[in-house]
A and B are shown apart, each in its own frame.
Chain A
Amino acid sequence: MRTLVSLELYKLRTTPAAWVSLGITLVLGMASVAANALVPSPGGPAFGSTDHVNHTLSVSALTSMVMLAMGVLVVAGEYRHRTIMQTFLGEPRRARVLAAKAVTVLGLGALLGAGTFGIAYAEAVVIYGARGVHSLPVDVAQLWIGAAVASALYGLVGVALGALTRNTVAAIVGAITWVMIIEVGILASALPEVAQWLPAGAAIALTSVGTAAHGMLAPTTAALVLTGWALLISGIAARFSLTREAH
């Protein structure tokens, strides 16, 4: 398994997608921290309050969606470029290939989530400190762990969706539509008691404090629910994708 994971990392290292994703995440993450902290919003939370800092540090939504796309690309990208045959010629046991991709993306997701949050936190400390707020009124450890866990699990969901659809565009557009429009846009306001148990609801609960977390699941419960969703979708993907022929 270690060899297969190193192969997956080598594939990512030798193509631009991962580097571009990393660059976009860091640039957008740092820009969003600065914008959220410094640009006042009418009727928004007071500068330096829990809700304000929570909003400033909300980079896990970005890293989660980037990892979702990365997970899709790691699997569906191989079908798109027809490199999956070379992969299966090297390792005919397909379950091991899919497992290696899942482990790789889980690890990268945790690193990207934790790393980006760390940079965002450092930036926030500087910005708030310059304006006299020297102690951020949030549970930093919870947000940090939440960012790592949510990003890793969204990556795993991406791997599963990529294996199920074998189509990068369909998987990414479908996932973003589900998360941003159906869950966050519709269900979160229409059926919040249901939405909190869905993947995006659990991720928000896992990575939020203050008002944003009111009415949401407790962080530990949210982590378990999100893990459950990721494993369920992965199980479905394994069940239906491993026996289909590779073209």
Chain B
Amino acid sequence: MPTLSFHQLTKHYGPVTVLDGFTATALPGRVTAFLGVNGAGKTTSMRIMLGLADPTSGEATIDGVRYADLPHPTRVVGAVLDQGFHPNRSARNHIRLTARQAGVSADMADDLLHRFGLGAAAGRRVGGFSLGMRQRLALASALVGDPSVLVLDEPLNGLDPDGIREMRRFLRSFADAGGTVFLSSHLLSEVAAVADDLVVIHRGTLAAAGPVHDIVTDDTDLESVFHDLIHSTDTQEVWS
């Protein structure tokens, strides 16, 4: 199962440095939460990992291979970013299109939609979907190629409590089956409930990384630890 690696990733947009030598990994069989305040560099890191942006220097790889060099990338990595949907395309046809892109059979479209609670909406235009339904459709799309890695940017946004619980269960089972999960979220309590490892980025550099139980001890909580981390200029490395 693949390991995600960010190695000395630097990204400049004109005079603005978004990433500054960011280095981190996400391991197979683990749910790795990627935390940082707005503008810390989370989405840019993920976009570089997925070949949607080029780094100024450094590299992001999946088992040593850049996303763009994977023969069938969506069969290796499933991604949920803020990609959109054509409002006039049905959910079923969206899944079928994604399957064609991945080069896999589209026969599972209805089953996949049913699994994510969208079976009854399969024939409906996505333009009429709620935010939560779109999130579930995005995750269903990410799974079309039966990937071994999930890269998810704020996948819990818009989900109701039941949806969040189902998402947690799903991510847990995906990682327990050996998959690599790398997700960003601002919902720290939800992250704490599902993540095995944390990667905290601040101002484009690694602020902390390691197993959750090493960073969040019994007498603290993730929220206070996160607050302390991003207000400290000292980089911590707590991988044991």
CB-CB contacts below 8 Å: B72-113 with A: 73-74, 79, 81-90, 93, 96-98, 100-103
Assembled-state Cα–Cα distance A87/B90 (Å): 17
Q: Which residues of B contact A91 (CB under 8 A)?
A: 101
* Inter-subunit contact A85/B83 (CB<8 Å): yes
Sorting the interface of chain B by its residue count into under 10, 10 to 19, 20 to 34 or 35 or more gives 20 to 34
Assembled-state Cα–Cα distance A77/B89 (Å): 13
A90 at the interface (CB under 8 A from B): yes
CB-CB contacts below 8 Å: A70-96 with B: 77, 81-83, 85-93
* Inter-subunit contact A7/B86 (CB<8 Å): no
Q: Which residues of B contact A92 (CB under 8 A)?
A: 51, 67-68, 73
* Inter-subunit contact B84/A83 (CB<8 Å): yes
* Inter-subunit contact B141/A86 (CB<8 Å): yes
A83-B86 contact, Cβ under 8 Å, with A88-B51, A90-B73, A90-B98: yes
* Inter-subunit contact A7/B83 (CB<8 Å): no
Looking across the interface, which residue of chain A has its beta carbon closest to that of B151?
A: A89
A15-B74 contact, Cβ under 8 Å, with A85-B81, A86-B141, A245-B52: no
* Inter-subunit contact A14/B90 (CB<8 Å): yes
Size of the chain A interface, CB-CB below 8 angstroms:
24
A16 at the interface (CB under 8 A from B): yes
A3-B103 contact, Cβ under 8 Å, with A14-B97, A245-B52: yes
Looking across the interface, which residue of chain A has its beta carbon closest to that of B79?
A: A89
B60 at the interface (CB under 8 A from A): no
B51-79 interface mask toward A, CB cutoff 8 Å, 1 = contact, 0 = none?
Answer: 11110000000000001100001100001
Distance in angstroms from B75 CB to nearest chain A CB is: 10
Q: Which residues of B contact A246 (CB under 8 A)?
A: 52
* Inter-subunit contact B101/A86 (CB<8 Å): yes
A10-B51 contact, Cβ under 8 Å, with A89-B73, A89-B83, A93-B68: no
Q: Which residues of A contact B79 (CB under 8 A)?
A: 89
* Inter-subunit contact B88/A15 (CB<8 Å): yes
B50 at the interface (CB under 8 A from A): yes
A239 at the interface (CB under 8 A from B): no
Assembled-state Cα–Cα distance A91/B68 (Å): 8
Assembled-state Cα–Cα distance A10/B96 (Å): 9
* Inter-subunit contact B52/A14 (CB<8 Å): no
Distance in angstroms from B77 CB to nearest chain A CB is: 8
* Inter-subunit contact B82/A82 (CB<8 Å): yes
Assembled-state Cα–Cα distance A206/B67 (Å): 45
Q: Which residues of A contact B86 (CB under 8 A)?
A: 11, 14-15, 77, 81, 83
Distance in angstroms from B104 CB to nearest chain A CB is: 11
A6 at the interface (CB under 8 A from B): yes
Taking a contact as CB atoms closer than 8 A, the residue among B52, B98, B100 that contacts A88 in the complex is: B52
Q: Which residues of A contact B81 (CB under 8 A)?
A: 85
**Can you list 16 pairs linking A and B with CB atoms under 8 Å apart?**
A3-B103, A7-B100, A11-B86, A11-B97, A14-B86, A14-B89, A81-B86, A85-B81, A85-B83, A86-B83, A86-B98, A86-B141, A89-B51, A89-B101, A90-B101, A91-B101
Q: Which 6 A-B pairs have the closest CB atoms?
A: A82-B84, A90-B101, A92-B68, A85-B83, A92-B51, A14-B93
